[in-house]
Amino acid sequence: MPRAGLSATHIVTEAAGIADTDGIEAVSLARLAGQLGVRVPSLYKHIDGLADLRTRLAVTGVRGLTEAVAAATVGRAGRDALLACCRAYRDYAHRHPGRYAAIQRPPDPHSPADQEYREHTDALLALVLTVLRGYDLDGDDAVHAARVLRSTLHGFVALEQLGGFGLPADLETSFDRAVDTIDAGLHAPRGKDTP
Amino acid sequence: MPRAGLSATHIVTEAAGIADTDGIEAVSLARLAGQLGVRVPSLYKHIDGLADLRTRLAVTGVRGLTEAVAAATVGRAGRDALLACCRAYRDYAHRHPGRYAAIQRPPDPHSPADQEYREHTDALLALVLTVLRGYDLDGDDAVHAARVLRSTLHGFVALEQLGGFGLPADLETSFDRAVDTIDAGLHAPRGKDTP
DNA sequence: GCTTTCAAGCTAATACACTTAGCCAACGAG
DNA sequence: CTCGTTGGCTAAGTGTATTAGCTTGAAAGC
């Protein structure tokens, strides 16, 4: 009875592959065990059930997203940084749809990976705040701006993945308009209507 | 053996109640049958399985959302209509989180309700385009603007429901800023950078 | 009023999926 | 070499969805 040499990271990586190719719904312990050449209960030696696996998937998703955005925005500032951030964000969601979808479900507080998840989401928020440096925002204004940016990015790719944009108008143009809109909004005077 | 007097709409309404109170994950045929005082296979006389039920739930969600936005924006125009639209959208998602979550999963093309679902999403898009009248947008420009608006709204409430806004800054202010940002972007010259 | 027909409930059975309990062999530390 | 730990396994239990086929309530037709 030889050993398969599994590990938690190995399992999560395989799960991420399934999610990216066949969708997040296709990630099951049964299929995972089958692909890893192992029986289902063996997975429990490394992960704490399905909920834990999903939380770990979310961790890899938000970590990969953070790394992609960080790599794209290093050394840039202002509008240049904003554009690079937005493109990297959407590009990651396109290349890893399953991992991105995994971060769209609330984490399980019982999972051992839950705290790690929260740390990584905080890191992503901090990174976005860094990207917004150069628009001379301070304190709560920066937080509000980061929320608006993240909302638009998340909403765009989420609707894209849902096929919610039925009309034939070009998606790239739509995305550029979204980024332009955010950029314009960041320059506009805050807390008042547009003049 | 008395009859329970079920119907498809009755079942879907009960499912929507479960989704709104305990989350979309809690909607199962077993629980549904229990609450309706009936055995599980009896549900199949009215709906075509779980996938069909979920698509029908999505239909009620997008229909309710459309009605809420329509009621809030009738008789308004320009920025006034935009603000009312955004508030009504977010308010509906807050009052019916389960129904709103139901429209975030792709519909099942095998479901009898699938075409109805597509019709209702088209109606919502048409309504948003109506709201944007008054910003003198035409053709593709209007479609792009509608996408940006929908992305931001969807992204904001989705992140809100995920608890993704960990920081203590006020959510109402953040939402107002998002609406201001969209409004400013709609006034900005299109297809070019901000001056 | 009786019959016929259909729809709406039911039981039974099947097929999966997740989870836990407990066993057994392989590997590493001493 | 031995022994403890770890990582695999089988077996069993629970919950869910789905299908097949039966049975009866209730309405439609004569």
Per residue in B174-190, pLDDT (tens digit) is 999 999 999 998 887 66
**Cβ contact, residue pair B148, A152, below 8 Å:** yes
Q: Kindly report, residue by residue over B38-88, the tens digit of the pLDDT.
A: 999 999 999 999 999 999 999 999 999 999 999 999 999 999 999 999 999
Q: In degrees, to the nearest 5, what angle opens at C-alpha B142 toward C-alphas B82 and B55? A: 75
Q: Give the distance, in angstroms, between the CA of residue B14 and the centroid of all CA atoms in the same chain.
A: 18
pLDDT single digits (tens) A72-84: 999 999 999 999 9
Over range B131-160, report the average pLDDT: 92
- CA nearest B160 in A: which residue? A151
How confident is the model over A51-75, as pLDDT tens digits?
999 999 999 999 999 999 999 999 9
Average pLDDT over residues A122-137: 91
Q: What is the pLDDT of residues A69-122, one digit of tens each?
A: 999 999 999 999 999 999 999 999 999 999 999 999 888 888 889 999 999 999
Give yes or no for a contact between B101 and B161, defined as CB atoms under 8 angstroms apart: yes
Report yes or no: B62 at the A interface, CB cutoff 8 Å: no
* A137-145 contacts, C-beta under 8 A, 24 or more apart: A137/A186, A140/B169, A140/B170, A140/B173, A141/A190, A143/B167, A143/B169, A143/B174, A144/B169, A144/B173, A144/B174, A144/B177, A145/A186, A145/B177
CA of residue A52 relative to chain centroid, distance: 18
DSSP state of B25: G
Cα(A56)–Cα(B92) distance, rounded to whole angstroms? Answer: 32
- What pLDDT does residue A190 have? 64
Q: Does B194 have pLDDT greater than 70?
A: no
B87, B36 contact by CB (below 8 A): no
Could you tell me how far CA A125 lies from the centroid of its own chain? Answer: 11
C-beta of residue A157 within 8 angstroms of C-beta of residue A175 = no
Subunit contact A181:B185, Cβ cutoff 8 A = yes
Residue nearest to nucleotide C24 (CA to C1'): A1
Nucleotide nearest to A27 (CA to C1'): C17
CA distance A190 to A59: 34
- Give B107's pLDDT tier (boundaries 50, 70, 90): confident
* Chain C bases near protein CB atoms (7 A cut-off): 7-13, 16-22, 25-27
Per-residue pLDDT reduced to its tens digit, A133-192: 889 898 899 999 999 999 999 999 999 988 767 777 899 999 999 999 999 988 876 654
DSSP state of B189: P
> CB count, 10 Å around CB of B171?
15
Q: Write down the mean pLDDT value for chain B.
A: 92
Q: What is the largest CA-CA distance in chain A?
A: 75
Note the CA–C1' distance, A30 to C16, in angstroms.
10
pLDDT computed for residue A172 by the predictor: 95
3-class DSSP assignment, residue B34: helix
B104 close contact with A: CB closer than 8 A = yes
The CA distance from B182 to the nearest CA of chain A, in Å, is 6
Asked if residue B191 has pLDDT above 80, the reply is no
Q: Which of B108, B181, B187, B190 to mutate to test the interface with A (most CBs of A within 10 A)?
A: B181
Interchain pair A174, B150: CB under 8 A: no
Model confidence band, residue B112 (pLDDT cutoffs 50, 70, 90): confident
CA-closest candidate to residue B100, choices B48, B161, B152: B161
* Through-space separation of residue A79 CA and nucleotide D14 C1' in angstroms: 56
Query: Between the CA of A51 and the C1' of C25, what is the distance in angstroms?
Result: 30
Q: Which residues have CB atoms below 7 Å from chain D, the nucleic strand?
A: A 1, 3-6, 38-39, 41-42, 45-46; B 1-3, 28-31, 40-41, 44, 49-51
The per-residue pLDDT for B18 is 98
What is the rounded CA–CA span in Å between residue A126 and residue A20?
A: 26
**Cα separation of B141 and B59, whole Å?**
28
Q: Which of residues 148-177 of A touch B (CB under 8 A)?
A: 148, 150-156, 158-159, 162-167, 169-170, 173-174, 177
Q: What is the pLDDT of residue B193?
A: 43
Angle subtended at Cα A97 by Cα B174 and Cα A148, rounded to the nearest 5 degrees: 10
Is the Cα dihedral A39, B25, A59, A101 positive or negative?
positive
Whether B150 shows a pLDDT value over 90: the answer reads yes
> Given this model, what pLDDT does residue B192 score?
45
The residue type at A71: A
CA distance B44 to A84: 50
Ramachandran angles phi, psi of B45, nearest 5°: -75, -15
Task: Verify whether the Cβ–Cβ distance B187 to A194 is below 8 Å.
Answer: yes
What is the structure's pLDDT at B187? 85
